[in-house]
Chain A
């Protein structure tokens, strides 16, 4: 069975600090996909990234970066120079087939609070 663990329930940092959100996953499949979503207070899910299991290259998009380590089954997310607008709940998710074609298993989420 697949499982996603986000051990950090809540993180609070001061604006401009860097922050890393951890994600550890479990799956029996060799082919799988990992996702990160942002959920602001309004509730809608904002897609951030999808990464397949064969691509271990780190990804950088502006202030966001992701570190995929198959050896430790982790897919961590770092926000550099955090801003108040980054405050939200962030979910890591896993799909074992087709990049999401069989639905996603979500972690419990990390509530990120950026204080001005």
Chain B
């Protein structure tokens, strides 16, 4: 079946640095991808909707200048956490919508730890 891959699976960085997380749809084209954040023992919260070739749509309360989303191709969306701080430590999960099959697929998630 369709696969969505995230990279890296986990990353540790120093406070103040920027971190990029990639989300790839491996065998289908995804005009729409979604980014979620999950803090420990909490639910998944939608951060933003990433649309290929256009600006991302951010949910209320999510800082678009801090969480930069780029969806430059039909198979790749990237989330860059800029000037990361310890409070940004979280599990980030992407999902991709396959318009041909009408199915939604999730990546494996990326665990970010900011020291």
Please list the residues of chain A having a beta carbon within 8 angstroms of any beta carbon in chain B.
Answer: 37, 43-45, 47, 91, 95, 98-109
Interface centre among B97, B99, B104 (most CB of A within 10 A): B104
Contact partner, A106, options B43, B105, B107, B111, Cβ 8 Å: B43
Please, could you name 8 A-B residue pairs with CB atoms under 8 Å apart, sorted by A?
Answer: A43-B109, A44-B107, A44-B109, A47-B105, A91-B44, A99-B104, A101-B32, A109-B43
Q: Per-residue CB proximity of B37-81 to A under 8 Å, as 1/0?
A: 000001111100100000000000000000000000000000000
Question: Do A101 and B97 touch (CB < 8 A)?
Answer: yes
Question: Do A44 and B108 touch (CB < 8 A)?
Answer: yes
Query: Is B93 interfacial (CB 8 A cutoff)?
Result: yes
Given contacts A107-B43, A108-B42, contact A43 B106 (CB under 8 A): no
Closest Cβ–Cβ distance, residue B111 to chain A (whole Å)? 7
Query: Is B28 interfacial (CB 8 A cutoff)?
Result: no
User: Total interface residues on B, using CB and 8 Å?
Assistant: 22
Question: Do A105 and B46 touch (CB < 8 A)?
Answer: yes
Residue of A nearest to B32 (CB): A101
Chain A residues within 8 Å of B44, by CB: 45, 91, 104, 106
Interface centre among B43, B107, B108 (most CB of A within 10 A): B43
Closest Cβ–Cβ distance, residue B47 to chain A (whole Å)? 10
Question: Do A43 and B32 touch (CB < 8 A)?
Answer: no
Closest Cβ–Cβ distance, residue B54 to chain A (whole Å)? 15
Closest Cβ–Cβ distance, residue A69 to chain B (whole Å)? 23
A103 to B48, CA, bound (A): 9
Question: Do B49 and A103 touch (CB < 8 A)?
Answer: yes
Question: Do B109 and A100 touch (CB < 8 A)?
Answer: no
Question: Do A98 and B102 touch (CB < 8 A)?
Answer: yes
Chain B residues within 8 Å of A108, by CB: 42-43
Question: Do B93 and A45 touch (CB < 8 A)?
Answer: yes
For the complex with contacts A95-B104, A104-B95, 11 further pairs of A-B residues with Cβ separation under 8 Å are A43-B111, A44-B109, A45-B44, A45-B109, A47-B105, A91-B44, A98-B97, A100-B104, A101-B99, A103-B46, A104-B46
A99 to B102, CA, bound (A): 7
Interface centre among A95, A101, A103, A108 (most CB of B within 10 A): A103
